[in-house]
Chain A
């Protein structure tokens, strides 16, 4: 069990979501959800299948535009995020079903994560000499640090479509880290992994949080992982927020137990 450190509990709010509702036609994916993510914390979002967890992440990084509500990120309030603004502002994410660039090598995938940090324009890119090459090499050096950190040195030249699932997840985390995000959204980073791979991934998540000070919001179904890693847990069910608090509080919450185990009729 990871005790929520006092500084995180007292910490500054990095992102807050207020009264957000999202529907697709008649289907209400998110209903009036409000919560916040504090700087430096690991925030878990849990809930049964179809509870709206992934939709919530999609709202945060602007892939879905909610019909109602406000999102405040780093003190700036807006009705809806845009993907470009979110990426620029420092929100990175990974996907539930790995969304890597399959035809490219692991190295190129992670290098692509640095696209926004590279400034040399089209003409320099055509020449690939002088400042353009210097920039390319400088970013390669940063990417190699991430590759070292994630221990994927041996596969950097391998086309990612040929990698086993666990390594693909790791490359995807690397691509998100290459953006040097302030807020990292992880959508089921441990889905489909065996115990050892889960332990590795948990270690990476904790290290990212400790070393880089990255704030992390993660969706996960493995309750052991969630309770061990997170500072605070948000529980959704049928698009509604049913609980929000420390792992201990959430675990004891009547609504959460009902949502997961069902209610006696």
Chain B
């Protein structure tokens, strides 16, 4: 009943063209941000921050990246894991080559490496679409995975073949490496993810977002309107890979602390793709919901029996967790094939007319 647009008159196109025209939505966003920045860092335990919040945020960013490409521009990609890896290895090369530079700079710059690689592997999208494009991007995934294993230059010839994250400080506070606390890393990740979500939201609500959706929905009409398909598609690949690259760099530098080539294999690509599909194609909120469901649910299920005092050995818990997550994913897709974001929209619509059915 509180969620109504009643009485909120728009007298200018500025007001009507805002991304969140409803006052309640703006208040909601402000409250969530306040809790995330001011409340969580002081109350959440290191376990919750480290094993839930940080990975959920990082994968949400990767999912936003893939959603820009698949949900908005309609181009399927199975190469997200590889693009994340390019970001991670690029960041490692930059951070070790310029140790004195603030670590945030290589993390954000590594997105440009990833964007460049994404554009190269996006070139086939000019000729092929749908499943065929998925296969072409799958090739990029295998090629990049091979590079991460076989090119020792990428890890500065470390014998272990893995990235070992050096300690780097941000105005004197260590934010990467073994000395950084979970809370500082959380705050850095949160700031980057919030800022990049804001930019993505601006993008999809403007001319470029409309051009992407036009190419997705009817490429012939888009072309005859004067949208140049190859530019629009390659821009989608570039922006999408940029997001994946930054997510990959943060994954290693602000979460794992060390990483092998396995972290960026085909499983990572599928994980992000599932998040996008379950969360909702073409919805930024859906990227978050998908990430929460795919990463958060298993952890909740794993800790639930212990906290309820049910005596189960850990192997049984793990099997149960796989079965329940799998069943829930199928259930969600049957109930709402358009993803969790659509459920949220339907809920909002119901709230608007409550207590009447329509």
A residues contacting B by CB (< 8 A) are 61-63, 83-84, 86-88, 92-93, 95, 99-104, 108, 111-113, 115-116, 118, 120, 122, 125-128, 132-133, 136-137, 140-141, 144, 175, 179
Contact = CB atoms under 8 A, between A and B. Distances in A.
Instruction: Give the top 6 A-B pairs by smallest Cβ distance, nearest first.
Output: A87-B226, A128-B202, A101-B217, A99-B221, A116-B226, A112-B210
B334 interface: no
A144 B13 contact: yes
Contacts of A179: 225-226
13 contacts: A61-B224, A62-B224, A63-B220, A87-B224, A99-B220, A99-B221, A100-B217, A101-B221, A103-B217, A112-B211, A125-B203, A137-B14, A140-B17
A242 B126 CA distance: 40
B217 A104 contact: yes
Nearest to B201: A128
A102 B218 contact: yes
Interface in B209-258: 210-211, 213-214, 216-218, 220-228, 235
Contacts of A62: 224
B206 A128 contact: yes
B190 interface: no
Contacts of B19: 128
B226 A63 contact: no
Contacts of A95: 221
B282 to A, nearest CB: 7
A120 B207 contact: yes
Contacts of A112: 210-211, 213-214, 222, 225, 227
Contacts of A136: 17, 206-207
Contacts of B17: 133, 136-137, 140
- Say what secondary structure dominates the interface of chain A: helix
Nearest to B218: A99
Contacts of B16: 140
Given A115-B210, A137-B17, A86 B203 contact: no
A165 to B, nearest CB: 16
Contacts of A111: 210
Contacts of A61: 224
Instruction: Specify which of B14, B206, B213, B282 lies most central, judged by the most chain A CB atoms within 10 Å of its CB.
Output: B206
B208 interface: yes
Instruction: Specify which of B13, B205, B225 lies most central, judged by the most chain A CB atoms within 10 Å of its CB.
Output: B225
Interface of B: 12-14, 16-17, 19, 199, 202-203, 205-208, 210-211, 213-214, 216-218, 220-228, 235, 282
Contact of B213 (A93, A99, A101, A141): A101
Given A84-B228, A88-B226, A125 B216 contact: no
A173 B38 CA distance: 51
A116 B225 contact: yes
Contacts of B206: 125, 128, 132, 136
A87 B202 contact: no
B225 A175 contact: yes
A103 B14 CA distance: 24
Contacts of B223: 63, 83-84
B227 A115 contact: yes
A107 to B, nearest CB: 9
Instruction: Specify which of B13, B16, B216 lies most central, judged by the most chain A CB atoms within 10 Å of its CB.
Output: B13
Contact of B224 (A93, A100, A102): A93
B217 A115 contact: no
Contact of A140 (B13, B208, B216): B13
A108 B17 CA distance: 11
Given A115-B210, A115-B226, 14 more contacts: A63-B224, A84-B228, A87-B226, A101-B218, A101-B222, A111-B210, A115-B211, A115-B227, A116-B226, A127-B199, A132-B206, A136-B17, A140-B17, A175-B225
Instruction: Specify which of B16, B208, B210 lies most central, judged by the most chain A CB atoms within 10 Å of its CB.
Output: B210
Contacts of A87: 224-226
Contacts of A132: 206
Contacts of A141: 13
A61 B228 CA distance: 14
Given A63-B224, A84-B228, A122-B208, A102 B217 contact: yes
Contact of A104 (B13, B207, B210, B227): B210
B158 to A, nearest CB: 36
Contacts of A99: 218, 220-221
Contacts of B210: 104, 108, 111-112, 115
A122 B202 CA distance: 11
Nearest to A88: B226
Contacts of B217: 100-104
A112 B226 CA distance: 10
B208 A101 contact: no
B227 to A, nearest CB: 6
A170 to B, nearest CB: 16
B213 A126 contact: no
Given A108-B213, A112-B210, A125-B208, A100 B226 contact: no
Given A104-B210, A120-B207, A128-B205, A86 B218 contact: no
A144 B10 CA distance: 14
Contacts of B205: 128
Contacts of B214: 101, 104, 112, 115
Given A87-B226, A140-B17, A115 B213 contact: no
A88 B207 CA distance: 17
Contacts of B224: 61-63, 83, 86-87, 92-93
Contacts of B218: 99-102
A108 B19 CA distance: 13
